[in-house]
Chains A and B, each alone.
Chain A
Amino acid sequence: MAGASGLGTGPGAAGGDGDDSLYPIAVLIDELRNEDVQLRLNSIKKLSTIALALGVERTRSELLPFLTDTIYDEDEVLLALAEQLGNFTGLVGGPDFAHCLLPPLENLATVEETVVRDKAVESLRQISQEHTPVALEAYFVPLVKRLASGDWFTSRTSACSLFSVCYPRASNAVKAEIRQQFRSLCSDDTPMVRRAAASKLGEFAKVLELDSVKSEIVPLFTNLASDEQDSVRLLAVEACVSIAQLLSQDDLETLVMPTLRQAVEDKSWRVRYMVADKFSELQKAMGPKITLNDLIPAFQNLLKDCEAEVRAAAAHKVKELGENLPIEDRETIIMNQILPYIKELVSDTNPHVKSALASVIMGLSTILGKENTIEHLLPLFLAQLKDECPEVRLNIISNLDCVNEVIGIRQLSQSLLPAIVELAEDAKWRVRLAIIEYMPLLAGQLGVEFFDEKLNSLCMAWLVDHVYAIREAATNNLMKLVQKFGTEWAQNTIVPKVLVMANDPNYLHRMTTLFCINALSEACGQEITTKQMLPIVLKMAGDQVANVRFNVAKSLQKIGPILDTNALQGEVKPVLQKLGQDEDMDVKYFAQEAISVLALA
């Protein structure tokens, strides 16, 4: 390994003969403590190069002690250091010496910055695998114990993530100690540590023997789930998923369900929110029987929870819930047990809840099939399309493709149109922008005829919107429509209307013509571009507004490659040359740029 870079071949190899190759390494080492963070960061990222040059012995005896005390640095430097050390085993002499990397990582695992600590822990987990079983017990386990009994909670939180990596490889006596330590962290004085323990409970349970899971993890889980701090209790819900995967159905019923039932009815909305948020995972982990008996009724409660955040989180899961149900019962369960609640949510008082529902409700149509969709869901879609909150309407429109597959979009088109028109004219430009982005999709599903009849005029109106972002989006929209409907359609419906704007008294609209031409020329091809667009562009070179003129230059540069040589030499070149002599600096600049890009000089 050390020979790979040609910098030396063993301990103390670097040195002696004034080797030139030492100089760059010397610089790197000095820059480990440069005042400039970037240079320090750069050196840390090349730590392996330094270590190679020093050789394994000096890396262990000099470099690592120095790095162990380098914990005063900026977060980004510490983060890079923590990451580097995870891959350092080879550079300190292989697995036999992996434990030399523990002191610097131990320090990094106690800094206050979570990202650095997490990275240090990640590297420690990596290195733990490289320890021999003997070294693991001699060095790694003691480190975990030190962290676990540290004075400050940062070190104890870091310890929580390390138990699961040393447990499987430890001897039985040590295993018992590890379990004991984990237990005590689960009842630590500080909520920070209890949270860390709760979030690692599932992971730890997975490496334990099944008996220990039942006799030790389950009581810990029960305790954490009834912690006085709701920030701890809510993490127990997550642990519930992992623990459930390890237990049999009978054990689940007696050991886990009482706690989960309690969480569903927790006084704190944040805990109930967590149940709603993790619902799909819980459903999978608990299996169909418990889902039917317990989870579905719980879900009904969540859908009518008094806190809007909980209802919204539950509403988000409606589709996944359906998908995860056994295929044969799906339809009846949704129809009888869930749909009545969904109907309520459609007219919820909170817009956040309605829009969460609107983002997934269309997905139910594939589960319920054509007839149910028409009879039960369609009225809901239609109601949501008329909702006062634009987000709700947008979410329905953006998911139209799901329904299209089941009942065809025509069923909706009568209500769709007013909804689209209203969104298209919404006072908030962000709403208008969002609906524009769905136009190509809608056009594809509704077909050319419907589009020409009802939506085309909207698309043209956006071109003269008073917000630039809308005009820009409208331009891109036209391009996508042409890709969908073809050049002939473009030539008949769009291009004439765009070109008319070239004579508009408002220079912003005249520029929009140019932007449209930029976007459309490629999709429309050489013939339309040369015959219809080019003359207009050239004519606009005489515009009195300089902004229009330099955009002419930019447009010519853009459409130039599509034109043939005759048009380029005969028509474009003289105009650009004239613009190149323009009195306005910007016009001159862009004209000259176009000339050089198109190689017309």
Chain B
Amino acid sequence: MIPGIGTLTQDTLWCFSQVKGTIEIGTTEADIISTVEFNHTGELLATGDKGGRVVIFQREQESKNQVHRRGEYNVYSTFQSHEPEFDYLKSLEIEEKINKIRWLPQQNAAYFLLSTNDKTVKLWKVSERDKRPEGYNLKDEEGRLRDPATITTLRVPVLRPMDLMVEATPRRVFANAHTYHINSISVNSDYETYMSADDLRINLWNFEITNQSFNIVDIKPANMEELTEVITAAEFHPHHCNTFVYSSSKGTIRLCDMRASALCDRHTKFFEEPEDPSNRSFFSEIISSISDVKFSHSGRYIMTRDYLTVKVWDLNMENRPIETYQVHDYLRSKLCSLYENDCIFDKFECVWNGSDSVIMTGSYNNFFRMFDRNTKRDVTLEASRENSKPRAILKPRKVCVGGKRRKDEISVDSLDFSKKILHTAWHPSENIIAVAATNNLYIFQDKVN
């Protein structure tokens, strides 16, 4: 077991570490965080926002080894990844919003990540520079031109140390391959390919080749009126380079084996839970749509998030999930109003902790939930400015369902549906989490006694 990762027993307390982003109430749309992702070592944390920017935080090197200040990150680099564009052929605006960020395995001293908006995936290099050449032949130290006649010797520039500079440079642009909106990107364990999925198709790319990609899944019917489902998320298996899964708006997951054929229209496995007829309602179909799918680090399980639950499936059992966790079942009675204010279409994501023993996903009112798979305990926590004192312990929250409201409970009716936590990330090997709440990024760590 990885040190530092226990189970979420009663003793695991989460405490505040940092909050990033402005405090002002009136937030601009562009500042809303749209994706959060740790790199493979957990030393870096990237966020993308609706304004097309990517901000990378680096773990504070000095405090890294102090147990109480392990979870401190500072801005490392900020860059504009995508710009708003206009597709003149289709008269469509292409938003700059960053839909997903995925880190590549580290290959040299620089870091590489993929970022995508609705249409275009970009490969970015983030590198450090700490030396600067000095000394010119034709200019003096102050930059004044020298008289060519006075040049009697040649000077070769010399590199001198300078303040550390972090630069982000676009290395590849993978464009023009998606007719619909890209919802997922996933890097393959072979380190040379990745896939991008939109509503109806999944494409396979080689990192080195930008002018062609292979279509591996296409569910577009010949007649668009026969369209009954769309692809909502897709991910590669963490170790088997030939295996990937994609989820659909019908609540099903398909596992495909790229060894079997070049076009993966026929799935190898099909994960579906039979519907309970007694629970059927007008909203059944909408709330069963899967908003995120994630392989466990071990590669044995997949986790899916739909509107009200998060489910864990064993790759070896297709007919039902092995675990189902209720995220906010109290909303079941409020689906009608959630439909009217469009919240029912919110796409919540879900994450595993480093040892696959705990899962985390978001809810409304800036609440997020954790489920311990071993002890079956769950907890609701809140990302809020109010208890943002350093190392303040997060108090578990409770939403009351019945008529009587106890102290410290919050009633369903007073939940703020405009404050939603869609994106979270868990450090790959430690109990440090990053939670995106609108325009703020909260970092929490577990309390160590």
Contacts and interface: CB of A to CB of B under 8 A. Distances in A.
A26 B259 contact: no
Q: Give the dominant DSSP class at B's interface.
A: loop
Interface string A154-194: 11000000000000000000000000000000000011100
B360 to A, nearest CB: 29
Contacts of A17: 152
A29 B131 CA distance: 18
B108 A154 contact: yes
A18 B150 CA distance: 7
Interface stretch (A305-313, A382-390, A491-499): A305-313
Contacts of B137: 26-27, 29-30
A27 B138 contact: yes
B156 A62 contact: yes
B138 A269 contact: no
Contact of B107 (A23, A58, A112): A112
B261 A229 contact: no
Contacts of B189: 191, 229
Q: Which of A26, A152, A269 has the most CB of B within 10 A?
A: A26
Q: Which of B106, B131, B154, B260 has the most CB of A within 10 A?
A: B154
Nearest to A267: B259
Interface string A554-578: 0000000000000000000000000
Nearest to B152: A18
A307 B261 contact: yes
B105 interface: yes
A69 B159 contact: yes
Nearest to A15: B153
Contacts of A154: 107-108
Contacts of A546: none
B109 interface: yes
Contact of A54 (B138, B149, B156, B262): B156
Nearest to A54: B154
Nearest to A232: B190
A192 B129 CA distance: 26
Interface string A75-117: 0000000000000000000000000000000000011111000
B112 A112 contact: yes
A112 B190 contact: no
Nearest to A22: B151
A81 to B, nearest CB: 14
B192 interface: yes
B193 to A, nearest CB: 8
A266 B158 CA distance: 56
B242 to A, nearest CB: 6
Interface string B110-143: 1010000000000001010101010011110000
Q: Give the dominant DSSP class at A's interface.
A: helix
A66 B157 contact: yes
B216 interface: no
A72 B190 contact: no
A32 B157 contact: yes
Interface in B164-221: 171, 189-192, 208
B133 A33 contact: yes
B240 interface: yes
A19 B153 CA distance: 9
B73 to A, nearest CB: 23
A307 B216 CA distance: 13
B274 interface: no
B219 to A, nearest CB: 19
Contacts of B129: 72
A15 B154 contact: yes
Contact of B152 (A16, A111, A155): A16
A153 B158 CA distance: 30
Nearest to B156: A62
A18 B259 CA distance: 70
Contacts of B191: 153, 190-192
Nearest to B191: A192
Nearest to B105: A190
A500 to B, nearest CB: 40
Contact of B154 (A22, A65, A192, A309): A22
A25 interface: yes
A228 interface: yes
Given A69-B159, A228-B240, A14 B106 contact: no
B103 to A, nearest CB: 14
A191 B239 CA distance: 11
Nearest to B128: A72
Contact of A15 (B152, B261, B262): B152
A103 to B, nearest CB: 13
Contacts of B260: 267, 269, 307
Contacts of A110: 108
B159 A309 contact: no
Contacts of A270: 258-259
A48 interface: no
B156 A58 contact: yes
A143 B239 CA distance: 32
Contact of A231 (B149, B159, B192): B192
Contacts of A301: none
B277 interface: no
Contacts of B139: 30
Nearest to A155: B108
B150 A152 contact: no
A63 B108 contact: no
Contact of B156 (A63, A113, A192): A63
A69 B131 contact: yes
A135 to B, nearest CB: 25
A65 B129 CA distance: 16
Given A22-B152, A228-B239, A308-B262, 16 more contacts: A16-B153, A18-B152, A29-B137, A29-B156, A30-B136, A58-B154, A66-B157, A66-B159, A152-B106, A152-B108, A152-B109, A190-B105, A190-B191, A191-B189, A192-B191, A267-B260
14 contacts: A16-B153, A23-B148, A26-B137, A26-B154, A62-B158, A66-B133, A66-B156, A66-B157, A69-B131, A113-B171, A269-B262, A270-B258, A307-B262, A308-B262
Q: Which 3 pairs, one residue from A and one from B, show the smallest C-beta to C-beta distance?
A: A268-B259, A26-B137, A62-B156
